[in-house]
Amino acid sequence: MILIIDMCYKRESLSKNEFVDPVVDIVSCKKSYIVKHFLELKEEDIFRAEKIILCGTALKDNEFMNHIEKFYWIRDTEKYILGICAGMEVISLVFGGKLRKETEIGMREINVRIDDPLFEGRKNFSAYELHNYSVDKLDQFLILAESENSIQAIRHREKKIYGLMFHPEVRNKKIISTFVDL
């Protein structure tokens, strides 16, 4: 079972249609899943999950940053995790990384620095961006891909934790599908 975490400012917000439901559509073709809002997440939800996906949010929706302590479980889990946009920001913050202001909206060229199964041998590709921050100071992570202005994909050096700043649910659905299959 895949746990899909809604990172939007409130449960069942309109943003859920844009940032959570497309992920559900991709995952539901492959595995069973449950969706939980980050403020309603329980330890047993994490325990029962095979893999976990932290979804993105709207540009001005940063409510999750006011509750970063709700995500400290990420440090201790051995589960596969994929953080998308806001999810990558949370992963970075939980592991001591920093955020810097960097707004990117629209299609951007992504350059793969380190080959990883998520990218299926691609060296570069176009991806949809919608974020106000970029991540920095990621000592515990490998930088898998970058755009001209920011880090776009990371993988923890020891754990099965990935982060993507771009939104694969928009133009790169196969990345989410590949993550589910890992």
Nearest to 165 by CA among 147, 141, 140, 177: 147
Question: CA–CA separation, 158 vs 176, rounded Å?
Answer: 21
SS3 140: coil
Question: CA–CA separation, 101 vs 45, rounded Å?
Answer: 33
Catalytic one among 18, 104, 129, 169?
169
Whether 167 is a known active-site residue: answer yes
Nearest to 38 by CA among 22, 20, 23: 20
Helix axis angle, 173-181 to 21-28, nearest 10°: 50
- Is the separation of the CB atoms in 170 and 128 below 8 Å? yes
Whether 37 is a known active-site residue: answer no
Q: Which two tokens stand for residue 107?
A: 């299609």
Catalytic one among 55, 85, 89, 129?
85
Pairing of strands 141-146, 98-112: antiparallel
- Other CB atoms closer than 10 Å to residue 126's CB: what's the count? 13
Q: Which residues are catalytic?
A: 85, 167, 169
